[in-house]
Amino acid sequence: MSADCFFSIGSTHQVCQDHAIADGDFVVLSDGCSGAKDSDWGARFLTRSAYNILKQTKPGYIDTFVNNVIKGAHSYVEKVELEEDCLAATFLCVFQQDKCITVCVVGDGYIILKDKEGDRLTIISHSYDTGAPWYPYYTLSEELTNRYLEYFGHGKLTVEKTVIENGKVTSQAVSYAIKAKEARIPSVYLFPAGTYDLVGISSDGLKSFIQQAKDPTSITNKSITEIQVIKDLFKFKTVEGQFVHRRCQKFLKDYTAQNIKHTDDFSLGVLHVRN
């Protein structure tokens, strides 16, 4: 079993606000809010807090685990005397415990599963129509929760499952009102280890890839679908060492040659499942 991760700054950003850590049987990942000052710090505080917990034990109740992650991150913020809202960031994690793979998503992002047999890919995306995801940060106080609901409670969280198999793509989606509790608790998935070879998590930077085309009079940008991006990404030749880092570097080099770039920060973590 192995795990690895990669993160890269988007072409429109001055600081990379994505961060990820991989270690043995888990990956943790966070995407800081572009509108929050120092959220690059906040994303790193979240991943470091989660890392410290997961190095000691595998969590039982995920909501308790996420609460402990945000509390640990908040303690770092107090020590370095940053503003509390630097913690406005998503949180995703994947870990293996015995024959079960647990994945948690708080905010937006992607889960990507590759079957052990065949070429089937399953993608589970989380997106908010307001453009303002629910962050663990908002659980720090009732005031923060209420403020979020006041501004964004009218929106929806959409969870979409897409399956790519034998060249065929099928999708189904379900939406939750943000005012409903289902949209404001960690989304937790349990997968049997015997089914999947790779389980990945990614920030929403996956959907920011564009291809630039130039002619004598204009420049046009064509969006590359996240489905295509994932298909191109998940072509791992090996799953040892820094296999995600190597694959992402090659992937980005190939895309650059085609005038394709990602405008938002992009991060990916992948767990190679043990039998």
- Residue 83 is predicted with a pLDDT of 95
Please check the confidence at residue 88 and state whether its pLDDT lies above 70: yes
| Per-residue confidence band for 58, with pLDDT thresholds at 50, 70 and 90 | confident
Distance in angstroms (rounded) separating the CA atoms of residues 87 and 71: 10
- Residue 219 is predicted with a pLDDT of 82
Kindly tell me the burial class for residue 80, based on how many C-beta atoms sit within 10 Å of its own C-beta (0-12, 13-18, 19 or more): exposed
E strands, the chain, in order: 2-8, 18-23, 26-31, 91-97, 100-106, 109-115, 121-128, 156-165, 168-177, 187-192, 196-202, 209-214, 219-223, 260-262, 266-272
| Per-residue confidence band for 216, with pLDDT thresholds at 50, 70 and 90 | confident
CATH entry 3.60.40.10 includes domain 2-272:
yes
Please tell me the pTM assigned to this model: 0.95
> How distant, in Å, are the alpha carbons of 1, 2, 52 from that of 26?
10, 9, 12
Distance in angstroms (rounded) separating the CA atoms of residues 131 and 258: 29
pLDDT tens for each residue of 219-275: 889 999 999 999 999 999 999 999 999 999 999 999 999 999 999 999 999 999 987
pLDDT tens for each residue of 4-52: 999 999 999 999 999 999 998 999 999 999 999 999 999 999 999 999 9
Q: Answer for the pair 260, 252: CB distance below 8 angstroms, yes or no.
A: no
Please check the confidence at residue 143 and state whether its pLDDT lies above 70: yes
Distance in angstroms (rounded) separating the CA atoms of residues 98 and 221: 46
* DSSP code at position 135: P
83 contacts: CB under 8 Å, gap ≥ 6:
37, 38, 77
99 contacts: CB under 8 Å, gap ≥ 6:
192, 193, 194
Domain definitions of the chain by residue range? 2-272
Calculate mean pLDDT across residues 73-86: 96
Please check the confidence at residue 180 and state whether its pLDDT lies above 90: no
